Chains A and B, each alone.
Chain A
Amino acid sequence: MPVIARIPTPLRSLTGGSEEIALENPATVGDAIAELERKHPGVKERLLDEKGVRKFINVYVGDEDIRFLDGLKTALKDGDQLSIVPAIAGGAGGAGGAGGAGRRA
């Protein structure tokens, strides 16, 4: 059973709309992201910066955030589910979405 990566809506434009990508047998989260990048170029840049996972994106193995595991070195095993969960800000406020509760930047 491979590792399943769950792709959030904002990144699905890079995966041809797929919400789940099966990965062969990545040993670590870093491997998994490399494999995602091979299959769907552009994903890596959205997930990582020079310091690692971008600070507005969380990567979970099962229900645990990899920042509290071993980061990109977190080991994966068959059947693990890798969830990519970016911060989203929408509250569906204004006419165009920028809305009235906060500042209009």
Chain B
Amino acid sequence: MTSYADLIASVRKAVTEISLDEIKRRLEHKVPMLLVDVREKEEFRAGYIPGALSLPRGFLEIQAEQKLPDRKAPIVLYCAGGTRSALAAKTLQEMGYQHVETANPGFVRWKDLGYPMETPPQLTDAQRDRYGRHLLLPEVGEVGQAKLLKSRVLLLGAGGLGSPAALYLAAAGVGTIGIVDADTVDASNLQRQILHTTSRVGTPKVESAAKTIAELNPDVNVIAFKERVTSANVDRIFGGEGQGGPWDVIVDGCDNFPTRYLVNDASLFHKIPVVHGSIFRFEGQATTFRPFEGPCYRCMYPEPPPPHLAPSCQEAGVLGILCGIIGTVQATEAIKLLLGKGNPLAGRLLTYDSLGMKFRELRVRRDPHCPACGPHPTITRENGYIDYEGFCARG
């Protein structure tokens, strides 16, 4: 029979221990390591070492491969005193992890020493329940979910693209959603604009959208702009003044060229990334513009078409479901930007052909001579935003 003392002694011999000072030094010097807190969830919630991932020892074997996919990565485990993390380190070694160290002592001492610690965002029980499937994703987790809840996304248009985007962003718990739309709900919208309902025909779209979102998720604060984006109001809307702060991401679901270009030029001034989506009949395009880091709309298409060559907006028609595909691609991009995870569509134009059911990807490069985001821009706020005229005349 092996006593507890014998067991621990043999485990300690089999693992590599690391001091708290060494962990602190590595954190300060940004030495790459995966810091893993193996205490229970409740202990973690009361505070943890900055950057640590929570993986309670009870779930270690079950969740290790999912949360620690790289067996060659340097991993540092800690618990409260150093015992549980030593046991966990031995287990990870047995599972084939090659660079595992365990802190001795642990977090209790770390805290006494006054070393830096973080406390996780406090989600309510209702939120923990609602966003449970997000919390299970290491890429989101409580930290990511709290980020989403603090995030602010501005949706241009509560129409075909804005509808699915708004629904998913609201469901995901994006805390503030601004919606810009001057129109009222029309029966002919309902074929694709799934934010709205038959009983709301005739009511302003922003009102209808706010109602739907409130029903879906009371965590979301909707800021309604019942107006069109124009060169006269774009700075006020994008600036976020009096609206609780700047916008993190713009989701562009506009439906005409003049506004697309205005949105581009103003978003560069305000340095807000724009997730672009556009549709025509059975085809859609989506891409993400990150101001001055990637290409902008003018790098991709320097100028709008003259009215006589622009496809007729009124007669074109659109497959309703197409809006769902492109709008949800936009929402996905927005969430990724907010979380700072994944690989956004910056510099890539995703095209979708619903009839052929084909997705393609085309490269978009920054234009070194771009008049809006190049080194010598001519289209600037100081020079006045450009108002293009004459598109999509409603006749």
Binding site for B on A (CB under 8 A): 8-10, 19, 46, 54-58, 60, 63-65, 67-68, 83, 85-105
Binding site for A on B (CB under 8 A): 156-162, 180-183, 186, 188-189, 192-193, 205, 228-230, 252-260, 262, 277-283, 285, 300-305, 309-311, 313-314, 316, 318, 320, 322-323, 349, 351, 353, 356, 360-365, 367, 387-394
A56 to B304, CA, bound (A): 6
Point out the residues of chain A lying under 8 angstroms from B205, CB to CB. 100
A102 lies within 8 A of B305 (CB):
no
B292 → A minimal CB distance (Å): 18
A65 to B205, CA, bound (A): 38
A101 lies within 8 A of B390 (CB):
no
Q: Is the interface of A mostly helix, strand, loop or mixed?
A: loop
Q: Which residue of B lies closest to A68 (CB)?
A: B365
B258 lies within 8 A of A92 (CB):
no
B192 lies within 8 A of A92 (CB):
yes
A101 and B394 in contact (CB under 8 A), knowing A56-B304, A89-B255, A93-B253?
Answer: no
A60 to B327, CA, bound (A): 25
A91 lies within 8 A of B255 (CB):
yes
Point out the residues of chain A lying under 8 angstroms from B230, CB to CB. 103
A10 → B minimal CB distance (Å): 5
Point out the residues of chain A lying under 8 angstroms from B183, CB to CB. 93-95, 99-100
B174 → A minimal CB distance (Å): 18
Q: Which 4 A-B pairs have the closest CB atoms?
A: A92-B160, A102-B259, A100-B183, A101-B157
Contact partner of B158 among A55, A100, A105, CB < 8 A?
A100
A89 lies within 8 A of B228 (CB):
no
Question: Could you list some 24 contacts between A and B, CB below 8 A?
Answer: A46-B309, A55-B302, A57-B301, A58-B301, A63-B361, A85-B362, A87-B305, A88-B280, A89-B313, A91-B252, A91-B253, A92-B159, A95-B189, A97-B316, A99-B181, A99-B256, A100-B158, A101-B157, A101-B180, A101-B228, A103-B259, A103-B387, A104-B394, A105-B390
A9 lies within 8 A of B282 (CB):
yes
Q: Which residue of A lies closest to B366 (CB)?
A: A68
A103 to B320, CA, bound (A): 23
B349 lies within 8 A of A89 (CB):
no
A91 and B362 in contact (CB under 8 A), knowing A9-B281, A102-B259?
Answer: no
